[in-house]
Structure 1
Amino acid sequence: MSGDRAAHLISAGRLRTDPPKRLVLLDVRLGADSPGFARTHLPGARFVDADADLAGIATPHSGARPLPDPATLTAALRRWGIHPDSTVVVYDDAGSIPAARAWWVLRWAGLPDVRLLDGGLPAWLAAGGPVVSGEEPELGDIGTAAARPGGLPVIETAAVATLPERGVLLDARPQSHYRGAGEFAGHIPGAVSAPVFDDFDQDGLLRDEQTLRARYRDLGITGTTAVASYCGSAMAAALQVFVLATLGIEIALYPGSLSQWSADPARLVVGSAVVTPDPVPAL
């Protein structure tokens, strides 16, 4: 995987002044937030429902956001006007987590050029970027891309249980959730707390490469160790996979995350329930 930040991340300034050719913009929202999209979005952006478009149908043992069905995802890719040679830029207004889920799903589906807008919609507005309102326009160009899963690695529950013995299992959620607060409280035995929100500054921009490398090196990640990330439902963890991709380090995502792990009462979840939650969602 390329470690060039520009292969995975694009700044608002660069998107404004030197947009990629064959550009497709995706505005990713949590749930069916089409009203939010209708109020403000980048010109030409397509609306993406992170729950309906980027996840499959949940079952009692699948986790809250299982991987999407390839045929259904293919239909969405074409509805958004994506071709195999498109450059897809994803963004959101929710701290880059929904956009990172889109980045991960599209890369997993085999799309070669997917980038995340650094800082999302707030950064675009701060840079003086234009926005529009209203519903998305009719798309004249139906895409031809097809979902071909396998572009990024995943790890299944059985392997997650043994990973801490041979590698590093990262918990991307806030420390309070790791310790036992909030939905899907506690953590998988042997997991290391590594809140992905710490990888971004107060403006929601990704921290510099040197800072990120030092942080993950301190967590035992050098690029040669087996590593996977999880959260509550593979949203924050997808952002962590993205962050490490900008460093040229490929790690696996646990799609079921703690929502799948904890569905089986026989699986141990470590952590006390008496913890003050951090003021951020456990995604």
Structure 2
Amino acid sequence: MPQPFTQLVSVAELASLATPAWRIFDCRFNLADLTAGRQAYAQGHLPGAFFLDLEDDLSGPRSGLNGRHPLPDPQLLADKLGSVGVAPGTQVVAYDDAGGMFAARLWWLLRWLGHDRVAVLNGGIQAWAAAGHPLVTEQPDARATTFVARRQKGMRVDADFVLSHLHSAEMQLIDARAPDRFRGENETLDPVGGHIPGAINRFFRDNLDASGAFKPPAQLQEEFGALINGGDAHRVVLSCGSGVTACHNLLAMEVAGLSGARLYAGSWSEWCADPSRPVATGA
């Protein structure tokens, strides 16, 4: 029996080791077209894959003050996972077509709910297809079970924590957005451009190689180690626009062996909703 996959799984491993007991989730999504993920899933997905929608399944209701993709209600997500057969020992694999941009959100959420047997398909659906494996249109069947959410403490921080640690050596904030948005330029998703004071920028796509797969662990360790000056990963807080691509940086740090970083789930879209919070621009 193979060891559980808790970070990345390759196409070859998935193709040769997956059993009907595994659960595969298609997490494709497009911020500019909210129906694109479901449409792509209907047109062809990995055999046995279920679909999870970023907004409907992997996020909660928006209040206007809690960001564009608030964390989902843990029990609602647990019920959804249980309804498609995710049990305590189930190996889960998440994939998308964006280098893990959305799949990493499910990876983090499952770990937050106490389920470590979850991995992202390295290279996504493109790598699967490029290796000659089939896509199907059939909807899979699954026997429902009970998924018990056991929320893990210490995996996330809130806006108050970030505000109170802006100038503290106990927090190193890393922002996963594209460099221009980090600088406050070309902002199209949020009403205010800029970043949280003291943050440094690590564009999540810099975690990937030219093929769209994650860089080797040693390279990621070197790059993130340089960002945090060889410091303690436990003081690192990851943010982005709405708590999605920050999970990609979290996954990359885990792949690099730098465990313990935390997620600011509300991220920039929550931060800038309160005009009393400070804003920085530029590099």
> Shared fold by TM > 0.5?
yes
The CA deviation at 1:204 is 1.0
1:213 aligns with 2:213: no
Counterpart AA for 2:69: R
1:147 aligns with 2:169: no
Paired with 1:90 and 1:253, the residues of 2 have a C-alpha distance of 19
Given the superposition, is the C-alpha separation of residues 201 and 217 from structure 1 closer, same or farther in structure 2, using an over 3 Å criterion?
same
Aligned to 1:67: 71
User: Counterparts in 2 of 1:1-283, with a 5 A limit?
Assistant: 7-19=6-18, 22-30=21-29, 31-32=34-35, 33-134=37-138, 136-139=139-142, 141-150=143-152, 153-161=155-163, 162-166=165-169, 167-181=171-185, 182=187, 183-184=189-190, 185-220=193-228, 222=230, 224-225=232-233, 226-248=235-257, 249-271=259-281
CA contact (8 A) 1:43 1:131 kept: yes
CA contact (8 A) 1:107 1:151 kept: no
The CA deviation at 1:259 is 0.5
Paired with 1:21 and 1:39, the residues of 2 have a C-alpha distance of 22
Given the superposition, is the C-alpha separation of residues 190 and 153 from structure 1 closer, same or farther in structure 2, using an over 3 Å criterion?
same
Counting aligned pairs with the same residue, the percent is 35
Of 36-45 and 218-227, the range deviating more from structure 2: 218-227
The CA deviation at 1:7 is 3.0
The aligned length equals: 268
Give the unaligned 5+ runs of structure 1: 276-283
Paired with 2:103 and 2:145, the residues of 1 have a C-alpha distance of 20
SS in structure 2 of the partner of residue 35 of structure 1: helix
Instruction: Please give the per-residue CA displacement for 1:158-207, whole angstroms capped at 9, x wherever unaligned.
Output: 11121552231001111111111223321100001111110101211000
Paired with 1:55 and 1:105, the residues of 2 have a C-alpha distance of 10
The CA deviation at 1:22 is 2.8
SS in structure 2 of the partner of residue 229 of structure 1: strand
The CA deviation at 1:255 is 0.7
Counterpart AA for 1:11: S
CA contact (8 A) 1:172 1:240 kept: yes
CA contact (8 A) 1:223 1:250 kept: no
- After the TM superposition, list the runs of 4 or more consecutive aligned residues in structure 1 that deviate by more than 6 angstroms: none
Paired with 2:20 and 2:129, the residues of 1 have a C-alpha distance of 22
Counterpart AA for 2:109: V
Paired with 2:260 and 2:152, the residues of 1 have a C-alpha distance of 13
State TM-score, norm by structure 2.
0.89
CA contact (8 A) 1:110 1:151 kept: no
